[in-house]
Structure 1
Amino acid sequence: MTWNNEWNKWSQYRELPSELKKHMNDMTEREREDAFYKQLEFGTGGMRGELGAGPNRMNIYTIRKVTVGLAKYIEESGTEAKRRGVVIAYDSRHQSVEFALEVAKTLGMHGIKSYVFDELRPTPELSFAVRYLHAYAGIMITASHNPAEYNGYKVYGEDGAQLPPAAADVIVTHMNKIENGLLLEVKEERELMKQSLISYIVENMDEVYLDYIKGLQLHKDAVKANLHIVYTPLHGTGHKLVPQALQTFGFQHITVVNEQRNPDPNFSTVSSPNPEEAQAFELAIQYGQQTDADLLLATDPDADRLGVAVKNNSGDYVQLTGNQTGALLLHYMMSQKQEKGMLKDNSVMLKTIVTSELGRAIAEDYGVQTVDTLTGFKYIAEKIDEYKREKNKTFQFGYEESYGYLIGDFVRDKDAVQAAVMIAEAAAYHKQQGMTLYDGLIQLYETYGYYKEALTSFTLKGKDGAEQISRIVSQFREHPPAELADVAVETIEDYQSGKRTDLLTTQQEVIDLPSSNVLKFWLQDGSWFAIRPSGTEPKVKFYFGVRQGTKDESEKRLKQIQTSLIDKVKMII
């Protein structure tokens, strides 16, 4: 694909919508090349990109093209797969409603039934609905926590999990056979409804989903602690279900941040609707101070990620990292289940390879096995499915450092609604014991050691940026550092080649995980760092983890290895 040819094809297409024509006219030469030099990539995480004209942007034509690829994949599975159909949900972003309908209209051309939510809904409810309705697939129109100019398209399999690599590859193969994505035909909504190829899902699905969440409750008396909660949906899909879920657990003192209550595709009160970032909590903290709240909660636009803030010993609100929230959830649930005799001998906890090792230490203390997966919740979901089929392990909890948690396996993706009610129950339980969640976190550190983690990323956009990211990873793979911050590198894990190399003995082991472009380096003092290009954003990410005897020692060591590594990266760029 040469970008000039694609540009000409689009500019000469008479039926191109006026807003896309205007966008093309306003583009600079560099913007034109970036928007037209390739097809927006579709992988196991679906596809995500900036809205606008061109095959490398999110628009009705890229939506149609990937949906035709999915339709062909479903057709290959037979008539029953087409009848079972596809569940479609969407978030609060620009064009999400239009894209969702475009998906249904494209599927309808292939005789595939669609179940479309009548209003915006969280990603985890989409996963739940696929399973509950026994659908063959699901599609979520969302760009998660990306800025307002983005949208995206996630595909889910019949198990309610994001598609595995093999299935995604089949869809891409079908997409690549389409010569001109501008000419793909769709059927009209009215015609499809007459043919019963579109059905709309109304609020009864919420009630069923909330009933399942209610079943997760471990300590019904905890609500007697009179916990005060402030919640912000950050203008996204959590605005209904998170408060309702908290109420099903018995929580009564729930204050929603009014300025961020309603869906808003511009996310006008935040620079980015990402609960990982401190600015996303600014209004929630103001509300917390006014109401003397015990717990602050924030969900991203599609409500699959949860951010948490609690009071420290000085009475100030501090934002917990995903690793810290995960550790608190894990410890609370394991301690409660052990007390109630609910922990089976074959219990397992799942975490990703870049998630804190604190979780492993906690799980081991309760006799729970820890299994590592690649980054991406689809890999956690794959393991859950494997354990269900083979009936050899009992899933207890799954999480990743990027604010994703799963408690009940009736959903097969990270679920901020589940996580919100369980962290609230944990906070209420601690309050009954005269403690805050922050006290509970310090207690974990005193018991297991001061684990400290960090993430640094470089955003490198466009064609040049993609080449820079590739160069950075190749440099570390082909010329790995012998030391970092004056501590020798002891082990290198290359998840692309599937090999773990001990640099002291030169012995190699096989890593029993799918191939992925990730490198992880372990230092002699137990510290580690990992390098991973993002699959959904133009970023290369650097993860760090340390464990020392005190908080100050951990922070010092973390800063040392961060500084040393970033200096090396800057020399490559």
Structure 2
Amino acid sequence: MSSSNEALQYWLSLDFYKATRDEASSFSEEDIAQHLNPEKRLVFGTAGLRSRMGAGFDRMNCLTVMQASQGLCRYLEGQFGKEALAERGVVFGFDGRYNSKRFAHVAAAVFLSQGAKVYLYDKATTCTPFNPYLVKKNNCCAGAQVTASHNPKMDNGYKVYAANGAQIIPPMDSDISASIAKNLVPWKEALELLDVDGECYLKDTSKIIDPYDDVLATYLDQMYHELCRFPEENKKSTLKFAYTAMHGVGLPFTTGLLKRFNIPDECVKVFEPQAHPDPEFPTVPFPNPEEKGALNLCLAFAKENDCDYVIANDPDSDRFTACEKQKNGEWHQFSGDEIGTIFGDFSILMALRRGVPAEKCLVLNSTVSSKMLAAVAKHYGCQYTDTLTGFKWLANTSLKLTKENPELVHCLAYEEAIGYALTMAVPDKDGVTAASVWAEMANYWRREKGITLCERLEELRQTVGYFANNNGYFLCYDPKVMKQIFDSFRNNGAYAKSLGSSTIAGIRD
């Protein structure tokens, strides 16, 4: 754009939501250069979109969501045809963040305007796992969940699932991105379905299918039948669990499945100050249960209620973490790798218990996760594989391997960032199932051997060896800087040949 005024006018010619039009109109010259430059448009990747909310091509707003949805719609039409979209449909859901419902309605309007069948969880906020679950269960063409998971409150996102229910992988992301670039002008037919002079919700929701009640019932039932091994024994639980939803959506789903697993109500203590969706996340500076201090309030609540464990979801309930009270009264917060190892051990044992041959049991984790899972798998004689970072690779790899060999049984996929998939009925991480299996597993080891989960982990270490990890991260919000960092890691494509005196045998990127 040759001038700030031209850039502003171009934005205003596209944006149809009053709040962001007003925001853009108040921008300074610097703001216009930063946010209204079309060349700085949000990049659509394998994680879809994720950014701060607000006016601008580089932010999450009604316009960028509509553009992404239009590109996705045209891409899916090219892949499946309009008839398949009308018959099989697409799935949309949203979390409890600011604008999430609005963005989901905008996305739904795009697909409705083209005659597609639209499943929109509109009755209430939903956990992210409900999206891939329904995509796979109903053989839909795709799904998109409006969520920023455990990001800060200013952020939101648009997470896309492929027809197999797993997150998209290359080249699908770049193909959708190219389709978005060809569909930047809002479609008149979609705008006509939205209350663009008001809150930008659908004027008429009679054309959507709201699957909330049906999916809640079928999900709880299916997860119970696939994963609950000791329904009668669970009724006699002697352990107490303090639960936090971290100001997110998890409460009805996680407590609902715990109840379905027959964990007594009196054994589940809900931490009410964090139990319900709140886009402000008022009690935590960063709503990620991995963060140091994020569980402090729930830990204090657990102590007051004499609980044995704290179990926690992140705000969209696709992740899970836990703490255990030690004999000295102190609390141990498990790392993602520790949880993954304990889950892997238990899942393999349960598969063997029901007659699955060891060599038919499959466990997976990402390459940045601990190799203790590989050692556990070797100990039992099971199959193990690792993948590149991200659940998109874990889920797609498991689906591929079990399709090639139908006798292969998925036991666990996990990544160290507290994501766990205990069944491929949800081809993504699922913190809801993780919480219930954790509760059953803790009771199992207490009942069978009189030990805690920390003690079971120590038994595994004595058996397969000790594995150390030291994980950390850096925050970077500028895509250009991020690219420069990774280009530097890659030595601009000329990968390093040696490390000190050692020759590098191979590189995985």
Indicate whether the TM-score tops 0.5: yes
Q: Distance in 1 between matches of 2:27 and 2:282?
A: 25
Offset at residue 225 of structure 1 (A): 3.8
- Equivalent residue for 1:420, pick from 435, 452, 465: 435
User: Does structure 1 residue 83 correspond to structure 2 residue 96?
Assistant: no
For 1:14 and 1:374, locate their aligned partners in 2 and report how far apart those are by CA, in whole Å.
38
Name the amino acid aligned to 1:318.
Answer: H
Q: Does 1:330 align with 2:332?
A: no
Equivalent in 392, 399, 414 of residue 399 of structure 1:
414
How much has 1:4 moved relative to structure 2?
Answer: 4.8
- Give the corresponding residue for 1:217: 228
2:260 alignment counterpart: 248
Question: What amino acid maps onto 1:40 in structure 2?
Answer: L
Per-residue deviation, residues 346-399 of structure 1 (Å, max 9, x unmatched): 222111111100000001111111111111112122123223432353222111
1:436 is the counterpart of 2:452: yes
Structure 1 range deviating more: 363-372 or 175-184: 175-184
Over 3 Å counting, the alpha-carbon distance change for 1:66 and 1:419 in structure 2 is same
Q: Which segment drifts farther, 323-332 or 178-187?
A: 178-187
Secondary structure, in 3 states, of the residue corresponding to 1:88?
A: strand
| Mapped partners of 2:472, 2:84: distance in 1 | 46
Structure 2 residue matching 1:140: 3-state secondary structure: strand
Q: How does 1:11-26 map to 2 (within 5 A)?
A: 12-13=12-13, 16-24=16-24
Distance in 2, Cα, partners of 1:80 & 1:450 = 51
Whichever residue aligns with residue 283 of structure 1, its letter is L
Q: 1:235 is matched with which residue?
A: 247
Task: Describe the shift of the 1:187–1:31 C-alpha distance in structure 2 as closer, same or farther (beyond 3 A).
Answer: same
Is the Cα contact below 8 Å between 1:145 and 1:300 reproduced in 2?
yes
Q: How big is each residue's C-alpha offset from its partner over 1:146-205, in whole Å with a ceiling of 9 and x where there is no partner?
A: 110000001112221112322222211111113545988434269989796412223221
Change (3 A) 1:2 1:114: farther
The 3 A distance-change label for structure 1 pair 404 and 181 is same
Q: How far does residue 473 in structure 1 lie from its aligned partner after superposition?
A: 2.0
Unaligned 5+ segments in structure 2 are 196-200
Distance 1:192 1:232 in 2: 33
Whether the 8 Å contact between 1:74 and 1:82 is mirrored in structure 2 is no
Alpha-carbon displacement from aligned partner over 1:254-280 (angstroms, at most 9, x marks no partner): 011110011001111111111111322
Is the CA contact (8 Å cut-off) linking 2:348 and 2:361 kept in structure 1? no
- The 1-side partners of 2:176 and 2:247 are apart by 32
Alpha-carbon distance in 1 for matches of 2:32, 2:459: 55
The equivalent position to 1:70 in structure 2, one of 51, 69, 72, is: 72
| CA deviation vs aligned residue, 1:479-532 (integer Å, no higher than 9, x gap) | 749557xxx55546433xxxxxxxxxxxxxxxxxxxxxx4xxxxxxxxxxxxxx
Kept in 1: contact 2:14–2:63 (CA 8 A): no
Q: Secondary structure at the match of 2:356?
A: coil
Partner amino acid for 2:69?
A: T
Q: Which residue of 1 aligns with 2:212?
A: 202
Structure 2 vs 1, CA of residues 385 and 53 (structure 1 numbering), >3 Å: closer, same or farther? same
SS of equivalent residue, structure 1 residue 97: helix
Amino acid at match of 1:134: N
Q: Using the aligned pairs only, state the percent identity.
A: 30
Question: For residues 3 and 405 of structure 1, what CA distance do their matches in structure 2 show?
Answer: 49
- Using the TM superposition, name which of 156-165 and 91-100 deviates more: 156-165
User: CA RMSD for the aligned pairs?
Assistant: 2.7
What does residue 46 of structure 1 align with? 48
Question: What is the letter of the counterpart of residue 446 of structure 1?
Answer: Q
Q: How does 1:331-370 map to 2 (within 5 A)?
A: 331-370=345-384
Q: 1:114 to 1:285 in 2, by over 3 A?
A: same
SS at match of 2:414: strand
Determine the structure 2 residue equivalent to 1:293. 307
Letter in 2 for 1:159: N
Q: Greater CA deviation, 65-74 or 14-23?
A: 14-23
* Mapped partners of 1:477, 1:314: distance in 2: 52
1:316 to 317, 326, 330: 330
Q: Distance in 2 between matches of 1:148 and 1:142?
A: 11
Q: 1:8 to 1:193 in 2, by over 3 A?
A: closer
Shift, 1:297, TM fit: 0.8
Give 1:469's aligned residue.
485
Structure 1 residues 150-159 or 194-203, which shifts more? 194-203
Asked if 1:494 is matched to 2:496, the reply is no
* Aligned-partner Cα distance in 2 for 1:206–1:490: 54
Preserved contact between residue 144 and residue 302 of structure 1 (Cα < 8 Å): yes
Q: Which has the higher strand share?
A: 1
* Per-residue deviation, 1:413: 0.6
Residues of 1 paired with 2:5 and 2:387: CA distance?
42
Unmatched tracts of structure 1, length 5 or more: 496-517, 519-573
Q: Which secondary structure does the structure 1 equivalent of 2:427 belong to? A: coil
Given that 1:75 and 1:82 are in contact with CA atoms closer than 8 Å, whether structure 2 keeps it comes out as no
**Measured at CA, do residues 390 and 268 of structure 1 come closer, stay the same or move farther in structure 2, by a change above 3 Å?**
same
Q: Secondary structure at the match of 1:128?
A: helix
Q: Which has the higher contact order (CA 8 A, sep 6+)?
A: 2
Give the C-alpha shift of residue 463 in structure 1: 5.8
Give the C-alpha shift of residue 460 in structure 1.
Answer: 2.8
Cα drift, residue 408 of structure 1: 1.5
Give the secondary-structure state (helix, strand or coil) at the position aligned to 1:335.
Answer: helix
Name the count of aligned residue pairs. 493
Distance (whole Å) between structure 1 residues aligned to residue 222 and residue 69 of structure 2? 31
Matched, 1:104 2:108: yes
1:329 and 1:228 mapped to 2: Cα distance? Answer: 19
1:166 matched residue in structure 2 = 171
Alignment of 1:414-563 (within 5 A): 414-432=429-447, 433-462=449-478, 465-466=481-482, 468-475=484-491, 478=494, 480=496, 483=499, 489=502, 491=504, 493-495=506-508, 518=509
Q: Does structure 1 residue 282 correspond to structure 2 residue 296?
A: yes
Contact kept in structure 2, 1:373 and 1:380, CA below 8 Å: yes
Decide whether aligned partners of structure 1 residues 27 and 483 sit closer, same or farther in structure 2, where only a CA change above 3 A counts: farther
Measured after TM superposition, the shift of residue 14 of structure 1 is: 8.8
Would the alpha carbon gap of residues 416 and 98 (structure 1) be closer, same or farther in structure 2, given more than 3 Å must change?
same
Query: CA 1:163–1:26 in 2, change beyond 3 Å: closer, same or farther?
Result: same
Q: 1:449 to 1:2 in 2, by over 3 A?
A: farther
Aligned to 1:554: none
Alignment-derived partner of residue 394 in structure 2: 380
Paired AA for residue 156 in structure 1: Y
Alpha-carbon separation, structure 2, partners of 1:493 and 1:2? 48
In 1, the alpha carbon distance for the partners of 2:332 and 2:29 equals 45
